[in-house]
């Protein structure tokens, strides 16, 4: 998308999780994508119109990218499959289709200059892959939190972009129990303890692994299996916290 124009936009329905923006296709058609970035769990495309297209996958959304007939197989590029809701035909020749069986995804158009004040961004915590993110930032975010470490890390106001899977994975890398009190990672004055240092490093590690497509999970969805930490003889346990499954090793995560 980056550097290309929207030659044609097809919205096959008026809504996803909520209504699509007013005149959605018309406001995109002819505009160029100046920059594509991520903020928390949102994809952000800055447009030549001065607006930004915000895209969220929800629980089941995905983008299918077809660069030509060979990608589409026997179908014409952009031909509809079940649950294809929005199709972007780009000037680069790419056809980009948003597919979402459960329709929990969403798309919005917002003035780029007002992006940081938008309701979905203004309360977000720090980005864990930003250069400024470190143990001190993490300790400050967790200071005084009476919730569990798992619940605090899952809160987008504490850290932006961490989902359930990678919270579980980061806690295992750091050797920290998901049941531990979040505030225990910081001193009463908000300085980072060793736990915060290990956890900050673990968060960056699991996200960087995810970006390279390395999804050999250490704990997630491995209930009843042996722990993968070298020398640990623990068995992965599953519990439910705030309605979400938590996977952890009760032996090496303390």
Looking at the domain 135-248, which fold is it?
Helicase, Ruva Protein; domain 3 (1.10.8)
Query: Two tokens at 44?
Result: 């952000």
Look at residue 78 and tell me whether its pLDDT is greater than 70.
Answer: no
What's the CA dihedral at 131, 135, 139, 140 to 10 degrees? -30
pLDDT at 68: 72
pLDDT at 77: 64
Least confident of 92-106, 200-214, 240-254: 200-214
Mean pLDDT value across residues 43-66: 96
CA distance linking residue 187 with residue 145, whole number of Å? 12
| Confidence class for position 251, pLDDT limits 50, 70, 90 | very high
- Residue-wise pLDDT for 235-246, tens only, equals 999 999 989 999
Look at residue 189 and tell me whether its pLDDT is greater than 90.
Answer: no
- What residue ranges of the chain are covered by domains with CATH 1.10.8.50? 135-248
Percent above pLDDT 70 for the chain: 96
CA distance linking residue 184 with residue 142, whole number of Å? 8
| Confidence class for position 213, pLDDT limits 50, 70, 90 | confident
- Residue-wise pLDDT for 112-140, tens only, equals 999 999 998 998 999 999 998 999 999 99
Query: CA–CA distance from 145 to each of 13, 24, 102, 139, 159 (Å)?
Result: 42, 41, 33, 10, 13
pLDDT at 96: 96
Q: 3-state class of 147 per DSSP? A: coil
pLDDT at 74: 64
Percent above pLDDT 90 for the chain: 84
- What residue ranges of the chain are covered by domains with CATH 3.20.190.10? 6-117
Q: Which helix (H) or strand (E) holds 202?
A: helix 194-211
> What CATH homologous superfamily does 6-117 map to?
MutM-like, N-terminal (3.20.190.10)
End-to-end Cα, the chain, rounded Å: 45
Mean pLDDT value across residues 9-30: 97
pLDDT at 47: 98
Of residues 186 and 80, more confidence is placed in 186
Query: Two tokens at 64?
Result: 């299918």
């Amino acid at each position: 998308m980056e550097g290309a124009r929207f030659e044609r936009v097809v919205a096959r329905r008026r809504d996803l999780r909520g209504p699509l923006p007013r005149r959605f296709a018309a406001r995109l058609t002819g505009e160029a994508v100046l920059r594509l970035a991520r903020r928390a769990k949102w994809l952000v495309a800055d447009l030549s119109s001065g607006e930004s297209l915000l895209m969220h996958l929800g629980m089941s959304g995905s983008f299918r990218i077809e660069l030509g007939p060979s990608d589409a197989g026997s179908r014409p590029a952009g031909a509809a499959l079940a649950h294809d809701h929005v199709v972007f035909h780009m000037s680069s020749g790419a056809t980009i289709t948003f597919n979402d069986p459960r329709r929990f995804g969403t798309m919005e158009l917002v003035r780029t200059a007002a992006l940081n004040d938008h309701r979905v961004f203004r309360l977000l915590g720090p980005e864990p892959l930003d250069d400024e993110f470190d143990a001190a930032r993490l300790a400050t975010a967790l200071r005084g939190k009476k919730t569990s470490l798992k619940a605090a890390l899952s809160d987008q106001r504490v850290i932006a972009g961490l989902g359930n899977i990678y919270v579980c994975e980061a806690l295992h890398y750091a050797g920290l129990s998901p049941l531990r009190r979040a505030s225990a990672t910081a001193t009463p004055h908000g300085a980072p303890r060793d736990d915060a240092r290990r956890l900050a490093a673990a968060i960056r590690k699991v996200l960087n692994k995810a970006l390279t497509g390395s999804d050999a999970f250490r704990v997630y969805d491995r209930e009843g299996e042996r722990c993968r930490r070298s020398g640990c003889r623990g068995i992965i346990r599953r519990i439910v916290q705030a309605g979400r499954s938590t996977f952890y090793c009760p032996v090496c995560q303390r």
